[in-house]
Amino acid sequence: MSRLALTTWLGALCAALFPTWRLWRDFFAEPETFSCGGMFFRGTSVWREQFDLVALPLRSDVNSVLYYAFAVGAPAIVVLVCFGRWHSAVAGRRAAAVLGLAALLGPVFFPYFDLRECRQVPVLSGQWFGEVIGGWSATSTSLLLAAGLVLVATQRLGPAEEPLARTAVFPWPRIARWTLLLAIDYLAVLTIFRLVFTLSEQHPDDLEYGMVFWFSFDHLIAEPARALLLAVIVVYAVARCLLLRRRSGRGAAVDHMVRAHDEARIR
């Protein structure tokens, strides 16, 4: 490996470590105090109420996952794992896709707060779009920089396993497919949770803060009954895996029949 390539990898690691350093710096710094007062009663439409039932937990969960990922240094771990396969262009593209996706998800799913009205900014509102555009931070910039350096190190400076022209830089179709599947699974589990609460005549207000908050260690200690809902996720995951295995088995059988038919025609 050349000195230029090694320097590029070192720069990518430093850029990936920046979100973790910034998070722990703010964690140990003296907290800032904000206050807001007054009571606001603003009517909301039916579609907004139904949309918030899904949007608010999703925003909170994605933001919590990003927070814990940055806390344990997940971006730096991604760079180090990719460095272990520095000769692989595929690994470089996947690592860059993960880092770039984290950079984009941060501003989109951050829970912006309006101090004037003392409430969170509604998702997909005009004010929310303004907050997202203005919420681009040094954390997102450092993650994009790390993604770019990883691409340079694996696509240009390193001996890639395959030519760059054969495949796209980012596997966008695969990313979009897996993101859609995860969103559908999350919506299904959240809908099951809502149905269980409706049948039991319960209306938990803290579910809007996401399932990560709902199953936090402190809440499980205070209310052990919450752990029973983990069975819902386990049952759904098992059913989902069985369905995928059955579908993949059918696909393999169809491919085998087509291949046998083609061989028979050639003979």
Over residues 200-224, the pLDDT tens digits come to 666 666 677 888 887 888 877 887 7
119 bridge partner residues: 114
The predicted pLDDT at position 142 comes to 94
Quote the pTM value. Answer: 0.73
pLDDT of residue 99: 93
Q: How far apart are the first and last CA of the chain?
A: 51
* Calpha distance 76→12 (Å, rounded): 8
Structure tokens at 109: 């799913």
> Comparing C-alpha atoms, which of 155, 173, 175 is closest to residue 165?
155
Which residue from 9, 21, 29 is spatially nearest to 73, judged by alpha carbons? Answer: 21
Tokens of 112: 């912006």
Q: Residue 206's Cα: distance from chain center in Å?
A: 21
How far from 91 is each of 15, 31, 72, CA to CA, in Å?
Answer: 18, 39, 21
Angle between helical axes of 138-151 and 89-108 (0-180°, round to 10): 170
Strand pairing of 113-114 and 119-120? antiparallel
Side chain identity at 107, as an amino acid letter? P
Can you give the pLDDT at residue 50?
76
Residue with tokens 């990898």: 9
- Residues (pLDDT < 50) of the chain are 164-168, 251-256, 258, 261
